Amino acid sequence: MTTTLPVESTTPTSPAGLTNHPLQVFNPQGAIPPLETIMKMHRNMVMVRLWDDRSLKLQRSGRIGFCVTSHGEEATQLGVAAALRDNDWLFPAYRQHGLAMWRGVSLLDLAAQLYGSADDRCEGKQMPCHWSFADKYFASYSSVIGTQIVHATGAAMAAQISGNPEQLAVAFFGDGSTSANDFHSALNLAGVRKAPALFVCVNNQWAISLPVEKQTASETIAIKASAYGIEGVRVDGNDVLAVYQAVLAMAERARKGEGPALLELLTYRVHPHSSSDDPSRYRASDGVEAWKSFDPIQRLEAYLKYHHAMTDEALKAIWEAVEKEVYEATDEAYKVAPPAWETVFDDVYSELTPQLEEQKAELLQHESGLVLAHAGAFPL
């Protein structure tokens, strides 16, 4: 028997931007998942937060070359993850590693990819924090704007054709991607075919330096769904229970063959766009501070404490335990050497061309010198 908590308001006043009546649960509306699920959501949101903090420190200290964080956007990941089935395909943008965590990807696996070590599933051939876990139905991160939206439509149509219409394909993208051709092409085709797909727009209100009001003249992103004949839902993306409820409802529709949906998860990009960005050059700090007070983890913790499901001491213990896990995994993964040099020739051709065979032989001939040169840049 599962335990559920009642729905009562524990939210602060909404900051500017959270308008046009997005779906909320913390301001009473709708059913919520069992307490066990909520607790798992919370722990994973904490893990994403601390993982991102650690990743940024690793980048700033020169251990990795690049990272993208999702501070303040954790609910947009875990609310979706909890509402899906484990075999639903995920087509992320670049702030969805919480879904991989939810599905059981180890922190060591995640950390190996940051370093591009010999344990990296991508064999060091991807940018840091561009994960891919086929066994978890987690496609590679996409840095190219909007391409993953088309991929999701194709995967959803493939599920229909193969006789598995209940297997969803879920695309994630930012508000900036809604201006890309792929967004329009994918939603139009998915709507026509009633493909079992969900299109999740994480509207964090900034496409690098471009604010959303200069991105579109539409009143909301969700309203764009009407042009394609599909469902559109606007959700408070900092309310993890509302995200869960909305995704669960739209997923059920799609599995029944009632067509795809566009979900706009309204949140805010608190951190820079990436470790290469300086947002102080293009936006004021007052908006950032307003949204910090609307923090999704703080809201969920306030809710759990209000209903006596957690104490301050228990919450503190969770943060400390997760932080220990994150640091141990990233420190352990750092000890692993880089991939062997010759692996650069793998996974391109089934049989190497004569030119590549010659180049590989030349590389192996000079391998010892390369290893010595690299050791200084990658100390163990």
Catalytic residue numbers read: 269, 273, 282
- CA dist list (Å): 17 to 10, 26, 30, 209, 286: 19, 17, 23, 17, 13
